[in-house]
Amino acid sequence: MDWNLILACAHHLAVFSLVGIFAAEFALIRPGLGGARLGQLARIDGAYGAMATVVIVVGILRVWFGGVDPWYYLGNHAFWGKMALFLVMGLLTIQPTLAIRRWAKAGEGMADYVVPAGDIGASRRFVHLQAGVLLLIPLFAAAMARGYGS
């Protein structure tokens, strides 16, 4: 069985799923958010965290069991740049996640609840920063795949 191929496919599918979930969250955090959309956003944010965990776990498995010497990754500056950017994305998601949980609790059982515009604006800034960081990760991945950073 080709574990290198299986882990590479799983990692790519997880990353693309993460980006799709992020796009849904990006689209939903906007002025006028409330009601059923707020519950949907809370579920999407939970899926975002779960998929980020899958990306990390499969990535670790890929480093150690993917058929490439782990030191190729561990000694590669592009790999560590990619990891640093993923960490920055994780840190940037803390504020929106806490806000979404707070909003969902505030709007629980109130169909007409709308998130205050100022709260939306603050969280959107973090989500937009995440999008900017996300754009850089494939650049580091492509560089690493071509031997740069060693």
Per-position pLDDT tens, the chain of length 150: 799 999 999 999 999 999 999 999 999 999 999 988 999 999 999 999 999 999 999 999 999 998 889 999 999 999 999 999 999 999 999 999 999 999 999 988 888 899 999 999 999 999 999 999 999 999 999 999 898 888
Q: Which tokens hold the place of 126?
A: 């973090």
Q: CA 44 to CA 96: how far, in whole Å?
A: 12
Q: CA 83 to CA 141: how far, in whole Å?
A: 10
Q: CA 63 to CA 69: how far, in whole Å?
A: 8
pTM score: 0.90
Helices (H), the chain: 3-28, 35-65, 70-74, 77-92, 94-106, 117-145
